[in-house]
């Protein structure tokens, strides 16, 4: 909402535009230019071709072709990579359960999340977390795991 309310001052003539959003606006003429940003903030929602094409005000067939030309991949592939990148970031933080991470980034089920994660990254989400979690977050993960299997309370 705030982005839509902000108006950037365009500099006249050939002067350099200092605002990054304005530079992008002056260089991009595509209807899809802000779609990726919108997708990031709506990952947990339905991001089907029908939904995205409606957001871009295009019919689904035309949207699919334009998306593939502009982004170099299919909308489904792009959405899955977007969701998995965010899931990797959240897993590295270590403060959420693996099951919650998958659902929070838009996967319909934990099983679908695990399959996509393993297919793309070659490792399951739990192993990824163990390998890449920061040391402070890793101790919280170990404590939570110990409590869930009955080894007592964390100190």
Residue pLDDT, tens place only, 38-95 = 998 999 999 999 999 999 999 999 999 999 999 899 999 999 999 999 999 999 887 7
33-51 burial by CB neighbour count: b if 16+ within 10 A, else e?
ebbeeebeeebeeebebee
76-155 sits in which CATH class? Answer: mainly alpha
Q: How far apart are CA 89 and CA 100, in angstroms?
A: 13
Query: What residue spans define the domains of the chain?
Result: 76-155
Indicate whether this model's pTM tops 0.85.
no
């Amino acid at each position: 909402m705030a982005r839509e309310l902000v108006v950037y001052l365009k500099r006249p003539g050939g002067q350099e535009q200092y605002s990054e959003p304005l530079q992008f606006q002056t260089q991009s003429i595509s209807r899809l230019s802000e779609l990726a940003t919108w997708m990031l903030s709506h990952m947990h929602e339905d991001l089907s071709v029908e939904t995205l094409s409606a957001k871009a005000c295009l019919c689904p067939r035309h949207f699919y072709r334009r998306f593939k030309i502009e982004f170099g991949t299919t909308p489904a592939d792009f959405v899955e990579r977007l969701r998995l990148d965010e899931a990797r970031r959240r897993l590295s933080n270590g403060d959420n359960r693996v099951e919650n991470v998958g659902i929070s980034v838009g996967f319909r089920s934990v099983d679908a999340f695990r399959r996509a994660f393993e297919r793309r990254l070659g490792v399951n989400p739990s192993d990824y977390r163990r390998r890449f979690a920061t040391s402070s977050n890793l101790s919280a993960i170990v404590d939570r795991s110990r409590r869930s299997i009955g080894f007592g309370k964390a100190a």
